[in-house]
Amino acid sequence: MSKSFFLEFPACLILMMVISFACSEPEKTPDSDQSDPPNILWLVTEDMGPYLPAFGDSTIATPNLSRLASEGVVYPNMFSPSGVCAPSRAAIATGMYPSSIGANHMRTGSYTEVTGLPAYEAIPPPEVKMFSEILRMHGYYCTNNSKEDYQFKAPVTAWDESGNFAHWRNRNPDQPFFSIFNFTVTHESGLFEPYGFRRNEMRHYQAGDTTFALSNWMDRMSEDETPVHVSPDLEFPRPPYLPDTETVRRDLWKVYNNIAEMDRQVGAILSQLEEDGLLDNTIIFFYADHGGPLPRQKRLIYDSGLNAPMIIRFPDRRRAGSVDEQLLSFVDFAPTILSLAGISPPGHLQGRAFLGQYPAPEQRKYIHAAADRFDGFTDAIRAVRDHRFKYIRNYRPEQGYYLPITYREQIPSMQELLTLKEQGNLTEEEALWFRESKPEEELFDCEQDPYELVNLAGISDYEEKMKELRSEMDRWLKEIGDRPNLPESELVRDLWNGKNSQPVTANPVITQDNGNIMLTCDTEGASIGYKIWQNGSEPDSWSVYSEPFHGEGQLKVVAHRIGFVPSDVITDVTP
């Protein structure tokens, strides 16, 4: 293949998905029969629903993602457990539902003046680790470029590199890698005025140029400097809950123009993979961190906020050009990646592996989601969805749907909706979001009513489905220990075990015996990281301690349980 294979794939050759594939039984795919662990690459974009040709939206050409889909598998039924990024990333990183570990409120470390609460972090059970740490313990080189945002501070053991220049290219020769690249151009803030891409366009990894000077991540180009990939005169699909105005049409253009730019950036990374001769021994995931960026999308528990596109390309192009319709949740990522790496997923994970050597015995019948505090405003909503129907339970029915979130109100379309509301000029579909109260229960036929506008709760023909999904929600809430509408102050007190301050990880203890170094920590579940070096500069990365080791020279050790304050860094000199 040529160096520009992914960047120059012609739009006229984009292959549309014509094969539909849904496994009746989980399969061991792929690499279950290989002795060498596979490389795994994640390409993650922000705030984007399935607005791609591979998912049936042919508004614009995305040559790189369309080629990836033609050589891989399209998963149209991937759902986030939250309509916003930080709780979603907590689920991805841990394999646990956000509302089971205290990660459900967006953001746990901010808006303290509004909530009257201290900043806090999610605290999973002690056995929970970030799955990247587990990969590192099994020899993987793990990099994150560059967003974290997990509702907790990542332990130093989580990544070999996490930053704007993190890259698989920095690993040892022949070391397997797990690498994430995050694309921010499709983020909600990409719709703010004045329009212009963020200046941080990831040129540092596109060119492999570590001398690239990063500007402030919120700086913007002028609109004249912003590449126009899509004509503003194109007819863009408009959901019925948004008004047909020039302002909305302009925002829709921005959405698709940003997606086209993201596709170009994806192509740059794929070309680097090809340059390194790694394209055909790397499993490639592309997905979005939740649904779309527009009003009544991001933060909401409708499919518009939860449904994320996903494509997986396997090294042998297994099932190339197919569509896998199974229901999937972000909590399934952690066990699946471990399974693909040949690592048996820990039993405490709430997700289930859908690929690799250790697939779950059954596919999902349901996905679950929650919505709680967003910035300074709190609600309490839970949802369960099967392949067709979604059941929503509102724990604050006296409260309206719409939350006046300042950040969202910077979107011109949001401002337009509020103006039309004040004027009394919203259509029936547009006004649904602004009702002053909401029903205790809702049921939507997501197949016939994809925008979730017609509530079927209370209609006798659907009572059996209501009973089924009510029962499933009750089962799930009990299983994961979710207490909807629990005051956040009580949540913090529970996380902190009744104390008034964030728990602190105990300092690690260093023991040396005949040149063997043993590290321990009295805090249950703490990860221990260490660095050891001689006659030179300190290593950049912290190693993950798992068993006694031999070494001489300078030694640094730190312990950290997720959600706790890290320990002090302990220094020592080995003989």
Domain boundary pick from 495, 519, 535:
495
* Tens of pLDDT, residues 137-179: 999 999 999 899 999 999 999 999 998 889 999 999 999 999 9
Tally of structural domains, the chain = 2
Domain boundary pick from 451, 470, 495:
495
The CATH number of the domain holding residue 319 is: 3.40.720.10
Kindly state the average pLDDT of the residues 428-433: 98
Same domain, 567 and 491: no
Same domain, 437 and 323: yes
Same domain, 479 and 564: no
Bond preceding residue 319 cis, omega within 30 of 0: no
> Can you give the pLDDT at residue 14?
36
Other CB atoms closer than 10 Å to residue 105's CB: what's the count?
25
d(CA 289, CA 306): 9
> Can you give the pLDDT at residue 164?
85
> Can you give the pLDDT at residue 11?
38
In a domain, 547, yes or no: yes
Question: What SS3 state is found at 479?
Answer: helix
Of the pLDDT bands very low, low, confident and very high (cuts 50, 70, 90), residue 224 is confident
In a domain, 32, yes or no: no
Query: How many CA atoms does the CB half-sphere of 556 hold within 13 Å?
Result: 15
d(CA 155, CA 174): 26
Q: Are 266 and 286 in contact (CB under 8 A)?
A: yes
DSSP characters over 322-356: EEB---EEGGGHHHHHHHHTT-PPPTT-SS---SS
Same domain, 524 and 488: no
* Tens of pLDDT, residues 231-280: 999 999 999 999 999 999 999 999 999 999 999 999 999 999 999 999 99
Strands 570-574 and 39-45 turn out to be unpaired
Of the pLDDT bands very low, low, confident and very high (cuts 50, 70, 90), residue 215 is low
pLDDT beyond 80 at 457? yes
Bridge partners of 377?
374
Q: What are the backbone dihedrals phi and psi of residue 76, each rounded to the nearest 5 degrees, phi first? A: -80, -10
Distances (CA, A) of 436 to 89, 419, 484: 31, 17, 21
Query: How many CA atoms does the CB half-sphere of 25 hold within 13 Å?
Result: 3
Average pLDDT of the chain, as a whole number? 92
Question: What SS3 state is found at 308?
Answer: strand
Same domain, 514 and 489: no
The CATH number of the domain holding residue 567 is: 2.60.40.10
User: Rounded to two decimals, what is the model's pTM?
Assistant: 0.93
In a domain, 37, yes or no: no
> Can you give the pLDDT at residue 231?
96
Same domain, 435 and 513: no
Same domain, 255 and 376: yes
Same domain, 280 and 338: yes
* Tens of pLDDT, residues 278-305: 999 999 999 999 999 999 999 999 999 9
Same domain, 282 and 379: yes
Same domain, 422 and 519: no
Burial class of 134 by CB neighbour count within 10 A (0 to 12, 13 to 18, 19+) = buried
In a domain, 173, yes or no: no
Bond preceding residue 194 cis, omega within 30 of 0: yes
Kindly state the average pLDDT of the residues 38-48: 98
> Can you give the pLDDT at residue 225?
86
In percent, the amount of the chain with pLDDT more than 90 equals 86
Same domain, 342 and 387: yes
> 452, 434, 360, 490: which is closest to 83 by C-alpha?
452
> Can you give the pLDDT at residue 403?
97
Q: Are 330 and 75 in contact (CB under 8 A)?
A: no
> Can you give the pLDDT at residue 198?
72
* Tens of pLDDT, residues 547-566: 999 989 999 999 999 999 99
For the chain, the distance separating the N- and C-terminal CA atoms, rounded to the nearest angstrom, is 52
Give the DSSP H/E element, type plus range, for residue 74.
strand 73-79
In a domain, 117, yes or no: no
Domain that holds residue 300: 1-7+42-109+181-495
> Can you give the pLDDT at residue 220?
78
Question: What SS3 state is found at 161?
Answer: strand
* Tens of pLDDT, residues 465-490: 999 999 999 999 999 999 999 999 99
Same domain, 564 and 440: no
Helices of type H across 10-130: 63-70, 85-94, 98-101, 112-115
Of the pLDDT bands very low, low, confident and very high (cuts 50, 70, 90), residue 206 is low
Q: Which is higher by pLDDT, 4 or 101?
A: 101
Of the pLDDT bands very low, low, confident and very high (cuts 50, 70, 90), residue 16 is very low
Active site residues: 85
Structure tokens at 215: 């500007």
Question: What SS3 state is found at 408?
Answer: helix
> Can you give the pLDDT at residue 221?
81
Domain boundary pick from 473, 495, 517:
495
d(CA 153, CA 110): 14
d(CA 202, CA 184): 9
Q: What are the backbone dihedrals phi and psi of residue 476, each rounded to the nearest 5 degrees, phi first? A: -65, -45
Q: Are 229 and 201 in contact (CB under 8 A)?
A: no
In a domain, 115, yes or no: no
The strand ranges marked E within 357-425 are: 367-374, 377-385, 389-394
Structure tokens at 225: 């400097």
Structure tokens at 491: 């949540």
> Can you give the pLDDT at residue 204?
59
In a domain, 483, yes or no: yes
In a domain, 114, yes or no: no
